[in-house]
Amino acid sequence: TSAMFASKFRGSMLGALAGDCCGAPYEGHDVCVGGERIILKKYFDKLEGPYFKAPKKAYTDDTAMSMCLAKVLIRHGRIDDKELAVEFVKEYFTDPRRGYGGAVIQVFNKLRKSKFADPLQPAREQFNGSGSFGNGGAMRVAPVALFGHKKTSDEIIEMAKQSALITHYHKQGIDGTVLQALAVHAALLMDPEQQLNTKDFISNLIEKMKAIEVDEEGLGLDDAQPFTKQLEAVARFLSMNTEPSDDDVLNVLGNDVSALYSVPTSIYCFLKAQKTIKGIDSDNPFRRAVEYAISLGGDADTIASMAGAISGAFYGENVISTNLVKHLEFHEEVTLLANELHEASLKTNVGR
């Protein structure tokens, strides 16, 4: 129903915001062990407990750029390269201190200087022409998947790619964006009242990524189909009788700013949190996903934000503690944009 989708839109966008805001203080930290896990638990207990007045938890570039995407989709009903580039640049120069990736700022400067002559050119020039493989495309893509809730996977894939290309030209930067979009889209279309079949969820993503990465076969690369391989590792971890150690998870799935070593990790966090997690004492699966993601350290804001976006798209907004939401900077604006994005998605799909 329309009301359920509206709740899922808010769930996904507030879920992403929660992961970003709560994870940001942990970005760059080591994996939480022993007492650090308990400190993290207390941090969440406090935020979810009776409301107290405190400075809001600040959002970062992950949220700033997601909202740019939402605005462009609301306004234009599609991704317009130039409009999106203008929106990113406007946002960055208005509010630059949001922890942006180290290299992406060059793109913003070049876009502005060239007056957006070719909105895709600066991204192509990153890293000596290979493009960025950072997770910046993936971290902001949830609104694309939400907006496309009535569209086919192929249409989601195209829109996700396009949204990435303004800043991320490297195949892994793009494919990571596509994977995150497909994960959010799949979660959005599922009934949260039904027990989620994690095995099916991951096999569906593997099938889709295989098809996307097929052109890499036979190129003699060390690692043809890298995302497929990472997703197969996620499936393996989920099927184990005992939880893999944090070291195994970090060594195989990773927790860094590259798309390849963060997007599959976020999907793993979401799926693993369907069940209880050792060292995480909460009966709320959304909180488990986000808290576990943050406990892994590294690119904590982004991995938690991506896991939160998937989880919120599956469960809807009610899974997120309302007390926690009140502590998040920008939560009213995000709620409003989620509602507008939902309305816009209904309009553009009329007659389809």
Which residue number, 142 or 257, has a Cβ lying nearer to ligand R7I?
257
Instruction: Tell me the C-alpha distance between 109 and 226, whole Å.
Output: 31
Q: Using CA atoms of 192, 198, 203, 206 in order, give the dihedral in degrees to the nearest 10.
A: 90
Q: Binding to Mg ion (CB under 5 A): which residues in 95-124?
A: 99
Q: Binding to Mg ion (CB under 5 A): which residues in 55-74?
A: 60-62
Which of 48, 83, 246, 301 is in the footprint of ligand R7I by CB under 6 A?
Answer: 301
Residue with tokens 């799909």: 349
Q: Are 13 and 346 in contact, with CB atoms under 8 Å apart?
A: no
Instruction: Tell me the C-alpha distance between 159 and 180, whole Å.
Output: 12
Give the nearest distance from C-beta 135 to Mg ion in angstroms: 7
Site membership for Mg ion, residue 301 (CB under 5 A):
yes
Tell me the site size for ligand R7I, rule CB under 6 A: 22
The pattern of x and - marking residues 246 through 275 that bind ligand R7I according to CB under 6 A reads -----------x------------------
C-alpha torsion sign, points 322, 326, 327, 332: positive
Q: Are 71 and 152 in contact, with CB atoms under 8 Å apart?
A: no
Give the nearest distance from C-beta 143 to Mg ion in angstroms: 16
Q: Pick from 249, 250, 225: which is nearest to 237 by CA?
A: 249
Which residue number, 6 or 139, has a Cβ lying nearer to ligand R7I?
139
Question: Which of the ranges 101-109, 243-251, 325-333, 335-343 carries the binding residues for ligand R7I, by CB under 6 A?
Answer: 101-109
Give the nearest distance from C-beta 22 to Mg ion in angstroms: 12
Give the nearest distance from C-beta 103 to ligand R7I in angstroms: 3
Which residue number, 5 or 108, has a Cβ lying nearer to ligand R7I?
108
The pattern of x and - marking residues 131 through 170 that bind ligand R7I according to CB under 6 A reads -xxxxx--x------------------------------x
Six token digits for residue 271? 């799926």
Six token digits for residue 69? 């995407």
Site membership for ligand R7I, residue 116 (CB under 6 A):
no
Count H helices, E strands: the chain? Answer: 18, 0
Which of 83, 246, 299, 317 is in the footprint of Mg ion by CB under 5 A?
Answer: 299
The span from the first CA to the last CA of the chain, in angstroms, equals: 17
Give the nearest distance from C-beta 126 to ligand R7I in angstroms: 6
Six token digits for residue 10? 């808010």
Q: Are 336 and 74 in contact, with CB atoms under 8 Å apart?
A: no
Instruction: Tell me the C-alpha distance between 187 and 64, whole Å.
Output: 23
Q: Could you please report the per-residue DSSP string of 179-201?
A: HHHHHHHHHHHS-TTSPP-HHHH
Tell me the site size for Mg ion, rule CB under 5 A: 11
Which residue number, 11 or 136, has a Cβ lying nearer to ligand R7I?
136
Residue ranges in contact with Mg ion by CB under 5 A: 60-62, 99, 127, 130, 133, 170, 299, 301-302
Residue ranges in contact with ligand R7I by CB under 6 A: 60-62, 99-104, 127, 130, 132-136, 139, 170, 257, 299, 301-302
